[in-house]
Amino acid sequence: MSGILLLAFFLWGCQQERWNVPTTLGGSPARTHNYASTAPEPPRLLFLIPLSHSDSSGCLQPPLPLSSRLTIVATTQGSLVAISGAEVAWSFRFPQGVTAGAALAADTATLYALGTDGTLYALSFEGRLRWQKLLLEAFSSGGGPYLQPLPFTDGVLIGDATGRLYRLSSSGALLWEQHRRTTLERYPVADSDGSIVVGAKGQGELDGDTVIFLESTGHQRWARPLIQTQLSCPMSVGKRFLAVGGLHLSPANDPVPVLHTFSKTGDLLWSRVLPAPPRWISLDDSNNVYVVVHSPGVGEPISGVLCFNAHGHQRWHMYLRASIAGPLLLFRTAALAFALEGNGALGAYIFSLHDGSLKEAISLEEAPPLLLQPAVTPDGSLLLGWSSRLGLLRFGEHPWRWLFF
C-alpha cells in the first residue's frame, strides 16, 4: 500500500506546474466563481493531506493557491504555511497575538495578508517579507470587520466596514484612499478594466443599500440607491452586467427576495422575484446567472439554485434538502456545491449546467472537520482546509493523468 502511495505522489509531481493570478474566497476579483477555463467538470477524487509543522492548528481563512502545486494556509494560531504537494515549503509567523483578519490575496508576484492588528503584510512567493503597513484599526481596539481583500494584477484593495478603502501597489505605494463614512459590504468586486464595485449599507432599518461604482483611480463614476432593498449576498460582475441579490423591505409585509442586474453605467437591466433569500451569485461566460437561495424550511433546511439567462429568463431550477454552504463553482459543463444536510452530514453535489440535474453526490462524512470555503487551483483542483488541525482536502484527478496530457 505504501508503494502505491509513493507512486501516486511521484506521478503527481510529474505534472506541469501552472500559474495564474491567484484567487481565493469568492473566486476571481469579479467574484463570478467561474472556472470554465480550468476543466470541463469538477474533479471527483478525494485526497486527504495531513501536514506536519510546528504550528499544527487548523485553517482560519480559505486556502490560497499561488499555482497548481503551491498553496498558502493561514492558521488559527497566527502562521502562514506554504504547502507544496504534501510538504511544508516555508512558513511565516505573524507578531504575537495576531492572526489573519481576512482572506489571503495575491497578485502576480506578491502575497497579501491582512492581520488582525490592522497591518497589511506583503510577502514574496518564497515567503520573504517585502513590506508591511499599518492601515486599519486593530481588532483589539474595536476595529473590523475587514473587507475581503481585492487583488489586481499589480497590488490590492483593502478596507473595513467603517468605510475606509486603501488601494496599494505591489511595492507598497498608496495609490489612493477614501473614507466613505458609511458601512461597507465585505465583498467588493472588480471588472476586467480594474473598476471597483462596492456596496454601502443604508442608515435606517428600512433604508435601502447603495451600489457604488469606482474607476480604477478611485473616482466615483456612479452610485445606484436600491430603494428599500438591502443586499443579502456578495455581488458578481460579468462581461455585460453586475448581478445583485437582496431583500425588498416593507413595513407591512415580509421581505421579498429579489435579483437585479445593472449595466456598467448603472442602468437597471432586469429584475426577478426569488422564492427565498439569495445567498450567493455566480456568472458564467455566457452571462447566465446562477443564484443560490436558502430557506430554513420546516424541520430541515432547503436550498435551491436558479439559473437565469442573460435576458432574465429562467432556464431551470433545482432544490436540495440541505444548506448550501457557498457559491456554485462553475466549470465548463457542470458545477459543484458543498452542502450540509439536516442531520449534519456534509456532501459535495455536482450539477449539470445544461438543465440543473444532479449528476453525482459525494459524501464527505469521513473527512475531518473542514472550513467550508473552497479554493480552486489553476489546474482545476479544489482545496478545502481542515479546521481542527493543519491539513488539506483536495478534489483532484488521477495523478497519472499528467503523464498523458
List, as one string, the DSSP characters of 134-170. E-S--GGGT--PBPPPEE-SS-EEEEBTTSEEEEE-T
pLDDT recorded at residue 301: 85
Per-residue pLDDT of the chain (405 residues; tens, 9 = 90+): 444 444 444 444 445 666 554 444 445 688 889 998 888 999 999 999 999 999 999 999 999 999 888 999 999 999 999 999 889 999 999 999 999 999 999 998 999 999 999 999 999 999 999 999 999 999 999 998 999 999 998 999 999 999 999 999 999 999 999 999 899 999 999 998 899 999 999 887 778 999 999 999 999 999 999 999 999 999 999 989 999 999 999 888 889 999 999 999 999 999 999 999 999 999 999 999 999 999 876 677 899 999 999 999 999 999 999 999 989 999 999 999 999 987 778 999 999 999 999 999 999 988 999 999 899 988 889 999 999 999 999 998 745 444 443
pLDDT recorded at residue 177: 97
| CATH class assigned to 2-403 | mainly beta
Task: Report d(CA 11, CA 14) in Å as an integer.
Answer: 5
Residues 137-145: contacts with CB within 8 Å, 24+ apart?
137/162, 139/101, 140/97, 140/116, 143/118, 144/101, 144/116, 145/186
pLDDT recorded at residue 311: 96
pLDDT recorded at residue 28: 67
278 exposure class (CB count in 10 Å sphere: 0-12, 13-18, 19+): buried
Q: Would you give the end-to-end CA distance of the chain in angstroms? A: 26
pLDDT recorded at residue 228: 92
pLDDT recorded at residue 368: 94
Over the stretch 308-343, which tens digit does the pLDDT of each residue have? Answer: 999 999 999 999 999 999 899 999 999 999 999 877
pLDDT recorded at residue 397: 73
Cell output for 21: 493570478
pLDDT recorded at residue 22: 43
pLDDT recorded at residue 2: 47
* Of the candidates 33, 57, 134, 148, the residue with the CA atom closest to the CA atom of residue 369: 57
Q: Do 161 and 144 meet the contact criterion of CB atoms below 8 Å apart?
A: yes
